[in-house]
Structure 1
Amino acid sequence: MRDDMDKVIVERPRRGGGVQGDGRGFRNSRERGSHLGMKRGYDRPKWLNENLAPLKRWLHKQVHRPWDKVYTELCSGIDRRSTVQAHIFEHIDQFVVRDAVMRDGQVWVSASWWGRGGRAPLEEASHVELFVHPLTGILLPNRRLREARAAQRARYGNWAEQSGDKPYAVYHVIDESTQWHRVDGCWFEITLAKFPARAGATQPEEKCYDVLRRCLVTRSGAARRPAPGMPTHCGLYGRNDVYAATKRQLGRREVRARLGDDA
């Protein structure tokens, strides 16, 4: 761990604070309390602004090491006697599950971030990236994380379909390069662009960012079979030779004027 890890994580300006308008109206009103502090009605509270990304990257680099040694090294780099630095240890449980148990030869972890709802097998925990093995005490990555998150998306898709609010509803074709898509209850105008042609047979395909799928895609990747629970590229746009280049949220009046009751 770098020597100035505590400064990288903690020493950032706190957010919030500052004067929020004139508080004299509240202080002179009948709704105020009988005893008020000097800042009541004027300020808003501040909150911490930690940069936890370096801590998360450092923990991912410590996999396959005994957790006791990792924790010892972490304590040596961060002073727990400092109130601000000690707050960092409250975020460790967001990145590492330390209370895993063994049941019938399987590793079970908390079913949610906050430890509510009992426990679940590790392969079903979509929120667990790192965990401490309950028998060996080794820090290990969740190698089934991708499958767990795909299954979670599939469960959400089934629930949304039953409730009538599909995350990816049937799109409407406006013209050859424009489509309307309903995503999470909001309508967006998608501008399609064709994948660039490959320069040569030996040259790699150019990657393009799809604003609807929120990932980099290629022509050959668009034709591949997607992860479980995710729609196919052709199912989203009706063709595999285009991707979503731009996205614009539509207004309610604009949608109703064109789609009517279908909106």
Structure 2
Amino acid sequence: MSEHRLGENVIERPRSGWRISLKKVTGYKKHLTKITEEASTDGLLRPYLIKPRNKTKYFSDCLGPLYRWLRSKIGKLWDEVYREMSQLVDITTLSGQHILSHVWSYVERNVVIIDGVPYPKSSAYHYQPNRIGYSQEKLYIHPDSGILCLAKKIPYKPPEKPKDFLRIDAYHHYRKIDDIWYLITLADIPFLSLGADVVLKTNLTRDRGWWEYGKPVYAVSKQQCSKKQIKFIMQQLSKV
């Protein structure tokens, strides 16, 4: 791909949609203004004036060349990458602003590094944050070095099969407790009441039942398994 045609390659496809006054499309100009303000605040582009016209056709983009170009810049300082992109694409035009919005969808700017792992700031401090690259590879700007980096997709690893639990149905399962196998029977926790759990040895609320068992139930009985039951359990757990 010719770098000099980066802007044309992204928007060279025909546009779809129809002409309609921007007065009837709420939030459009506000969205473009927000993009400008964020980029200007971060020092990533010079301020420019957005002048949308009475056009609301949307772009049917060919984004592959843009992403490949960004990916080829991995390992370089983002300021240099951005400066080079600004020479190839006129970001003062509506099409340039459109391309810039796609750049930010590919590149994560607001990043925090926790234990050497990159997280988006928006979710880094959630209870179970998803690191950058959790579901798909993602470009990001390293917060310390300013270098454009790539977080590769984390390969999926199926959870290991538990060796101390075997489900029978919604209200019965086998569980190994202190090296002894038991048949556990569950029961629904009544509304506005508690369930005396014989396994956890405590009274459960419906919320606690959800937390422990995935539904508002409690263990109502616990019966030690016979040799025949244990043999069945071992056979089931050995299956791949």
Scaled to the shorter chain, the TM-score interval is 0.3 to 0.5
Please report the TM-score for the alignment, with normalisation by the length of structure 2.
Answer: 0.44
Query: TM-score, length-normalised on structure 1?
Result: 0.40
Question: Higher Cα Rg: structure 1 or 2?
Answer: 2
